[in-house]
A and B are shown apart, each in its own frame.
Chain A
Amino acid sequence: MLDLLPDLLRGLVVTLQLTAGGACLALVLAFAGGLGRMSGNRMVRAGAGLYIEMFRGTSALVQLFWVYFVLPFFGMEIEAITAGILVLGLNIGAYGSEVVRGAIQSVPAGQYEAATALNLSARRAFWRIAVPQALPIMVPSAGNLLIELLKSSALVSLITTSELTFTAQTLRASTLRTPEIFVLVLLIYFGVALVFTYGMRTLEQRLSFWRQPGSRA
């Protein structure tokens, strides 16, 4: 069973690249989408709403195929791995937008009033008062989304990106050792998910240090 590992671990590297790339893009889009949806500008609000509903309302796999098979018709040839990162980022970013919006809206109105009373500008109140309180609220949901992202990256195998799932399928075809391969692959994904869960828990503690009694913020 262990002789299968080197190949699978090579695939895992690509899976992690997809996940990391997708996560970076999703993080940016989640803030852009979430803040856009709360914007005072109507056009920005509508744009953000359209993005969020489009990507939450359709299937990730359909989005992936659309980008990979349809964009070339518009003269945009993109590499499979780039298409994968793009779709993963756009998809998870749309879900993340709602997380960002929910967290920021859960900051009590009194905090903004207090900031006004202290004569902080709206921008400063937002970045210095609201965001630091909203971040720890976002982290558990962000952790769930990160695991969703990791799992969705398996779909990118279907546009011939040789990540973990694709490697498993190739190995299966050449060795016919189906049960061993899939058990190993499931365990690898589970292991990575556990690491992510642990990492996010640590991050949450770091970000909410000021909530603990006795801490000096």
Chain B
Amino acid sequence: MRFDWDWAFAAAILPQLVAAMQVTIAATLLGFSVALVGGLLLAVLRRSRRRPLSWTSTAIVEFVRSTPLLIQIYFLFYVMPELGVKLTPFVTGVVALGIHYSSYLSEVYRAGIDAVPRGQWEAAAALDLDRRRTFIRIILPQAIPPVVPALGNYLVAMFKDTPMLSTITVLELLYTARDIGAETFRYLEPLTLVGALFLVVSLVAASGIRLVERRLGT
């Protein structure tokens, strides 16, 4: 047994890891922004009265949710250039995360929209509001606040999936940790610190979500 945790080494690499954490957080926030918009779009299309639109949206959601994010990242990274679309690894990663989580968020939005009482639609119709206005002015403002905590949970989930971007050379936290490991032959400290950093950010984010939940509950 060679348990030789080196505090000096851990302290020396911590600044490098914290700097890399910024890339992880940036990718998460950008990816989540894409997913917030993409998810809403999919949820609205799914409710469309035009069959091909709702059917396509359902198919996209089911397919994207049921296949691994890692393959989707590879797909964008290796296949897009063959189609003539060249993106940087970071942008590719953000797009992949965004698309993957759009499919989850669309289900969250859908639940929120379905939870708005039918009477609201009827009241809007009685007031002679058209479908689009009803949706934007009446339904969404009631549908979204209750699902904010669920959206928040997916933000944390996405944060924990960003290490996959290390496979397409995005210099985020895990990539940096492995880089340090390869240079120094010490994996114990970098990988343990990465785990600890993730745990801290996740726990802080989770308690933040609980706070929002309580706010929205009152």
Contacts and interface: CB of A to CB of B under 8 A. Distances in A.
Contacts of A147: 65-66
Contacts, number: 111
A126 interface: no
Interface stretch (B30-38, B126-134, B188-196): B188-196
B67 A189 contact: yes
A51 interface: no
A165 interface: yes
Contacts of B3: 73-74
Nearest to A182: B75
Given A62-B195, A73-B187, A179-B82, A190 B63 contact: yes
A28 interface: no
Interface residues of B, number: 40
Interface in B63-114: 63, 65-72, 74-75, 78-79, 82
Contact of B79 (A59, A155, A179, A193): A179
Interface in A48-83: 53-54, 56-63, 65-66, 69-70, 73-75
Interface SS of B by simple majority: helix
Contacts of A193: 66-67
Contacts of A168: 71, 74
A70 B192 contact: yes
Interface residues on A, range: 35 or more
Interface of B: 1-4, 63, 65-72, 74-75, 78-79, 82, 160-164, 166-167, 174, 177-178, 181, 187-188, 191-192, 194-195, 198-199, 202-203, 206
